[in-house]
Structures are given as C-alpha cells and as structure tokens.
Amino acid sequence: MTNNFRWFLRFIIYIPLTIALFFTLGYSYFNSRFEQNFSECLAQTPISATNKSAREVDAFVGCLKKKGNFFISNIMHEERLYQYAKPKIQCDFVGKWHVSEGYKEYWLTIEPDSRFFVEPMMMARSEQKNTIEKTGIWSSVNKNTAIQFFDGEYFWPINEYKIEWLSDKHFLMTNPLQEKQAFFFRHTPINKDCQETATK
C-alpha cells in the first residue's frame, strides 16, 4: 500500500468523522446555551398556560433573541413561540377528525379559534356524554405545518409537525424526532364561515 493511498484513506475516513464531531459538539453547545437562556428569560417573564398574553410572550421571545445569537436562533427557531399566544388557523384544519395513530384511534376536533380537544373513540360512538381527554391550541401558519400546545404540558420543546395532504379530506401528520405518525380523516364538512388567520 503506497503512502499516497494511505493518506487518501485517512482523508475519506477522518474528515467526515471530524465534521460530524464538530456539528455534534456545536449543537450540544448551542443547545446548552439555549437552555440556560431559556431559564433566565423564564425567571424574568414567567409565561405559562395561564399566563401567555401576547405582550408576555413577545417579551419572552425578545429576551431569548437578545441573549442568543444567529446560530442559536437558526437551530431553535424560538419565534415559533409567538403562536403560543397568537395561534394561526387554516380553515382546512377546522372540524372534527378521525385520527389513526399506530394502534390508537381517537377523535380530534379543531375549532375556528384554534382550540382543539381529543375524545376517545369508544365514548364518541356511544350515546353517553363524551369524555374529553386532552385540550390545547392548534396553530398552522400554512397547510403544510402544524404546532400543538397541550394544556397542562410544558410549552417547550415545541410539538411541531409536517403535514402531507393525501386528499382534500385526508392528511398525514409526522414528526421524525418524536417518531410520531398520525393519519387524519375528516368527519365533518369544512366550516364555510371560518376565517383564516393572517400569517404575518
């Protein structure tokens, strides 16, 4: 084996490993910095499910951006938290949906004001009063993405999903990081009185 070939092997093996290690360490560092900034900003502006006025959330996100930098903001996208206080709605999502998520099936209803609630299938099919299992805020700045803020759960990390429309009454919602994949089938007609929220 010639020296040139040995150097070539070192190049194709070690350079990618070095780059991967650099990005891993970089992400770990920026994530640690963000968590520290998050705690400090939360101490200054303690937002929560019961305290999330637009003014408070604006101040909180402003604090994160002030303490962060270009790289942290591009990794964490903290501006998504604006939707916690000012959710966006696309009328295509409004209504009652039959959701199939692995072995689980349930109803999920999205209201025109961006509120949503989850009901179990068995109760929803019976004549008994339905039991609401979860409630929260659904926000979609466009038809291809969705964020869920669950009541009673922490608002970070953000539950953000990719939406793939399979028909006008059927879509797939996925989040690779959470290994979540759910199929939504429309159960009620589109609300013709719905008014979409401006995305600006």
Given this model, what pLDDT does residue 124 score? 47
Q: Residue ranges of the domains in the chain?
A: 3-85, 95-186
In this prediction the pTM is 0.79
- Residue percentage of the chain with pLDDT more than 90: 38
DSSP string, 85-151: HS----TTT-EEEEEEETTEEEEEEE-TTSEEEEEEHHHHHSSSPP---EEEEEE-SSTTEEEEEET
pLDDT, tens digit, 9 for 90 and up, residues 143-179: 999 999 999 888 888 999 999 999 989 999 999 777 8
Q: Which residues contact 112 (CB under 8 A, 6 or more apart)?
A: 89, 91, 94, 191, 193, 194, 195
pLDDT tens digits, 15-50: 666 666 655 665 576 677 878 888 888 888 888 777
Report the CATH number of the 95-186 domain: 2.40.128.490
pLDDT bucket at 12, cuts 50 / 70 / 90: low
